[in-house]
């Protein structure tokens, strides 16, 4: 769905407030005041706070699908096509593809930290409704693509058999989400307060990438 500039402004404002105060702790009036729009405008565009949250998930959901733009240069592709093309790339080993996917996911979650916190909260609190269904479909499609990559690696003898793919996906998403959501503690516990915010974010991204790649190599391959 295409959104106009004012709708995007309202959704991005709501995103910040939902991440800071929680969905229940944020009122439509809070959103209107911070977005500097008339209260009636929020209702006109979205109808209710619940519908606004659903719209936000539709708007950001595409962003969080596993897509790898840098692997494709010849034409504009959908996110699904980009991921499938990367998986079918015969020039890359199965582990290289997995490492690319890990870096891609980390990049996306680091760029959209507010939405990431909202997603975590919604998955814990809500298991029914349109938002839950959007999250489920996103997870299902991503797992299908990961499964294809792993099965290719198994056929080539590059990956072990009997990989628990749902648990592996939970390891990727859970580890990344938890570290980003609790980065304040990571920074304090590792005495990184002297770093600038930009330096710290780069450090966090690098450490997370190294950790997940090492972990997935141990899970997937026979290499030491």
Q: Per residue, what are the HEC states of 73-96?
A: CCCCCCHHHHHHHHHHCCCCCHHH
CB 98 within 8 A of CB 216: yes
- Per-residue pLDDT, 61: 66
Residue in the block written with tokens 């309202």? 10
CB 189 within 8 A of CB 122: no
Asked, colleague to colleague, whether 1-49 and 65-220 share their fold, the answer is no
CB 208 within 8 A of CB 175: yes
Q: How many CA atoms lie within 13 A of 128 on its CB side?
A: 0
Verdict on whether the full-model pTM lies above 0.85: no
Instruction: In whole angstroms, give the CA distance from residue 76 to residue 153.
Output: 27
Fold entry, domain 65-220: Tetracycline Repressor; domain 2 (1.10.357)
Considering the domain 1-49 in this protein, what is its CATH number?
1.10.10.60
CB 32 within 8 A of CB 38: yes
Domain boundaries defined on the chain: 1-49, 65-220
Tens digits of pLDDT across the chain (224 residues): 678 899 999 999 999 999 888 888 899 999 999 999 999 999 999 999 989 988 888 787 665 555 433 333 333 444 455 555 655 656 788 899 899 888 888 888 888 888 888 877 777 776 777 777 877 887 888 788 888 889 989 999 999 998 999 999 889 988 998 898 889 999 999 999 999 999 999 999 999 999 999 999 999 997 65
């Amino acid at each position: 769905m295409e959104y106009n500039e004012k709708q995007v402004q309202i959704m991005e404002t709501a995103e910040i407030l939902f991440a800071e105060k929680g969905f229940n702790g944020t009122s439509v009036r809070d959103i209107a005041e911070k977005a500097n729009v008339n209260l009636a405008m929020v209702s006109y565009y979205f109808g209710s706070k619940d519908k606004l949250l659903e719209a936000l998930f539709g708007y950001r959901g595409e962003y969080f699908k596993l897509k790898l733009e840098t692997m494709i240069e010849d034409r504009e592709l959908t996110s699904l096509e980009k991921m499938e093309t990367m998986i079918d790339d015969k020039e890359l080993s199965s582990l290289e593809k997995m490492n690319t996917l890990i870096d891609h996911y980390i990049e996306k979650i680091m760029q959209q930290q507010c939405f990431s916190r909202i997603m975590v909260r919604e998955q814990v609190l809500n298991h029914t409704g349109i938002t839950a269904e959007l999250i489920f479909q996103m997870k299902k499609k991503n797992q299908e693509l990961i499964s294809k990559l792993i099965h290719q690696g198994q056929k080539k003898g590059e990956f072990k058999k009997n990989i628990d793919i749902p648990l592996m996906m939970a390891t990727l998403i859970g580890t990344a989400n938890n570290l980003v959501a609790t980065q304040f503690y990571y920074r304090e516990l590792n005495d990184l307060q002297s770093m600038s915010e930009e330096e710290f974010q780069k450090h966090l991204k690098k450490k997370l990438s190294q950790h997940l790649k090492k972990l997935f190599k141990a899970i997937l391959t026979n290499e030491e």
